[in-house]
Amino acid sequence: MDMNLNSYIRTQNVFSKKFCSAAVKNIQDIKWSKHNFYEPNKKKEIHISGDKELSVGYARNVMTDSIMDKLHSTIHKYIIGLKMKEWFDGWTGYSLVRYNQYEVGQTMAIHCDHIYSLFTTESDKKAKGIPVLSIIGVLNDDYEGGELMFHDKEYETKTGDVIIFPSNFLYPHMVKPVTKGTRYSFVSWVY
């Protein structure tokens, strides 16, 4: 079987520019914190890019609920499009969206979404598995730099796009530093 990895990275224009603009305004005042990567061998979160790493935040509001509702059908379309119904036709759920904010000079280091800590809770820190699909939602494109990269190749994104791809070592990705403006996106993971 000739496997073209890029054939598993799919983009769909899911959200209108008006919706995305409202979402960006809605998340301006959430509590942002520096992004960390979980290091399973050390069993702790670590900084990879120091101060250059993006900020992340969570908000449970009407915009988040609308995003979550729309993601369900988007995930379904992605899975149907893979034409693997005979052995993979569903998923258990997906995580609450996390918002990403990249200011000038900020980046996300190269990584894969093999996230052991994603489905733990404060009361139960034991790993329960890893995500099977990663989702990136693009909330604006009025910035410069901040290119999404897969395998050292730029993946073009526009406001309202949702990118879905497998969450494993075959899909290393990163975001280059923003050079002008502020880049906003959201992420979620399917399990």
Task: Say if residue 117 is exposed, middle or buried (CB neighbours under 10 Å; 0-12, 13-18, 19+).
Answer: middle
Q: What share of the chain is helix, strand, coil (3-state, %, to 5)?
A: 20, 30, 50
CATH of 5-27+34-190, one of 3.40.50.10490, 3.10.580.10, 2.60.120.620, 3.40.50.1100: 2.60.120.620
175 contact partners, CB below 8 Å, separation of at least 6: 54, 102, 107, 108, 146, 147, 148, 149, 183
Q: How far is CA 154 from CA 38, 75, 174, in A?
A: 25, 23, 10
pLDDT digits (tens, 9 = 90+) for 20-64: 999 999 999 899 998 876 665 655 566 565 678 899 999 888 899
Cross-strand bridge partners of residue 155: 148
Q: Identify the H or E element spanning 82.
A: none
Please provide the average confidence, as pLDDT, over all residues in the chain. 86
The better pLDDT of the pair 54, 114 is held by 54
Alpha-helix residue ranges (DSSP H) falling in 45-113:
62-81
- What are φ and ψ of residue 88, in 5° steps? -140, 110
The residues spanned by each domain of the chain are 5-27+34-190
Q: Which SS3 state, helix, strand or coil, does residue 21 take?
A: helix
Length of the chain as a residue count: 191
Q: What integer pLDDT is reported at residue 100 of this predicted model?
A: 97
pLDDT band at 155 (very low <50, low <70, confident <90, very high): very high
Which of 6-10, 107-111, 163-167 is least confident? Answer: 6-10
